[in-house]
Amino acid sequence: MALDSKQLKNVLFEEFPGRTRQIETLLNWFGTPTEKTPPTIFIHGNRVLGKTELVKRLFKLGFTSRQYSFLDCKICSSVEDLFGITLNNLTGEQFSCKNVNDFVMKLQEICENDSETRYMIFDNADILWDLSSTLIPALLALPQWASDEDPSFYQAFIENICDSFYENCDLFDFFRLLPDLFDKFIEPVQEGRATKNDISLLCNELKSHFNASLDKLYLQDISAANFEDQLPQWSLYLLIATFLGSYIPQNLDQRYFSIKACGKPKVSRTPKKQKSFDNSPAKLTQQLKGPQPFELERVLAIFQSIYYNYGYIQTIDIHQQIESFVAHHLVVCTVPYDRLGSRAYRCNMNSTIIDNKFHNPFKLSKL
């Protein structure tokens, strides 16, 4: 038997002291079982703060077992697992869904039976990126898919944004970016210039907004005044190394960051005759993708190559400085700290900032 809202609030206040504001916010979002709620809620924050436990207790005490599905994404090895477990939690029956269309049809059947709102809760949701490049966008579009007679409209939107943003975008960035892109995608329909069936026109107009979205996502300015004056010289070179690691494809490292027979690294320069490729399809594709993630070992090699004249820096100091860059949002950690394997990073600054504010001697336009 689910508790009423007053009882639920009192129990949660007692079990989670110091979380009054967060509890009240969650209760205002979810309301009663038949109330409309925000279609998607993304809860994020530092580890070991009790986010998962609070949400689990809220639903266990305030909702019946078939009103929600709680799933730890760590136990899913495929999209089929996720669909099957979720539907089983909502119905108590076994289902097999091979794709998102089958999943949506099953959800529609479940929701047609009564007026209660159903909730799907995914813990460790960043793991969903590893299951499918289109899974998270599809889940975000479920409210529209379940009520709209033309799911191909939302499928076209999903496929277009994933082609450009999936490889380089973490979950938090994706949530920040998605609303603006969807507003641009549906804008011609709202203005009467197109219908939901004019998929080609809508996709073409959406692509014209990709560069601005990439700027918003990746090329963030630095608000701290004179931040560069607070860094030692070697740290500035390390920051430049992260920029080079993000914007130069790894298969070109040997060309630009080679080691001579004498053992001293050298940044190579491309002959002048090779500089006339600014408008080549490959170059434009690389620019559209934005900065790429890099492993720490690679940026260490680039750093040693461009800083060889100034001496040797202890690796532990470099690790600490990278974490400082992450804290100041100069560099983004694209692989969570609790995931297995080497962490990956991405430079969070554009060439204008690096060249002017940090006096980068290695101009991409000259490489």
Residue that has been written with the tokens 């892109």 in this structure: 181
Contact partners, residue 323, CB within 8 Å, separation at least 6? none
Position 114 scores a pLDDT of: 77
Angle between helix 210-218 and helix 171-190 axes, rounded to 10 deg = 150
Amino acid, res. 38 = P
Model pTM score: 0.52
The pairing of beta strand 265-267 with beta strand 294-295: unpaired
List, run by run, the mean pLDDT of 10-residue segments along the chain (367 residues): 87 93 89 76 82 93 91 91 93 88 86 84 87 78 63 72 63 70 87 86 80 58 52 81 88 74 46 45 50 86 79 73 83 64 77 68 59
Q: At what angle do helices 151-165 and 199-207 cross, to 10 degrees?
A: 30
pLDDT 10s digits, 203-255: 888 877 776 666 555 544 444 445 556 667 788 888 888 988 888 888 888 88
Q: Which whole-number Å values give the CA distances from 24 to 9, 33, 241, in the listed order?
A: 8, 16, 45
pLDDT of res. 49: 83
For residue 353, give the nearest of 332, 335, 330 by alpha carbon.
Answer: 330
Domain map (residue ranges) of the chain:
1-64, 227-366
Residue 273 has what pLDDT? 46
223: number of Cβ within 10 Å = 8
Instruction: Report yes or no: 72 and 80 within 8 Å, Cβ to Cβ.
Output: no
**Could you tell me which of 359, 326, 321 has the C-alpha nearest to residue 344?**
326
For the chain, the C-alpha Rg in angstroms (whole number) is 24
Output the pLDDT for position 321: 84
* CA gap 220, 354 in Å, rounded: 12
CA distance 97 to 104: 10
Q: Which pLDDT score, from 0 to 100, does residue 262 have?
A: 35
Distances (CA, A) of 278 to 55, 93, 272, 282, 365: 50, 57, 13, 9, 9
Residue 181 CA to residue 186 CA, distance in Å, equals: 9
Tell me the residue ranges of DSSP E strands in 222-264.
257-259
Contact 69, 121 (CB under 8 A): yes
Q: pLDDT at position 116, please?
A: 83
| Residues β-bridged to residue 71 | 122
Would you state the pLDDT for residue 365? Answer: 56
Nearest residue to 347 via CA among 271, 286, 291: 291
Sheet of 331-333: strand order equals 294-295, 344-347, 331-333
Q: What is the pLDDT of residues 170-206, one digit of tens each?
A: 666 676 677 778 888 889 988 999 888 888 888 888 8
3-state SS, residue 70? strand
- CA distances from residue 318 to 70, 167, 179, 285, 295 in whole angstroms, order as listed: 40, 26, 37, 32, 14
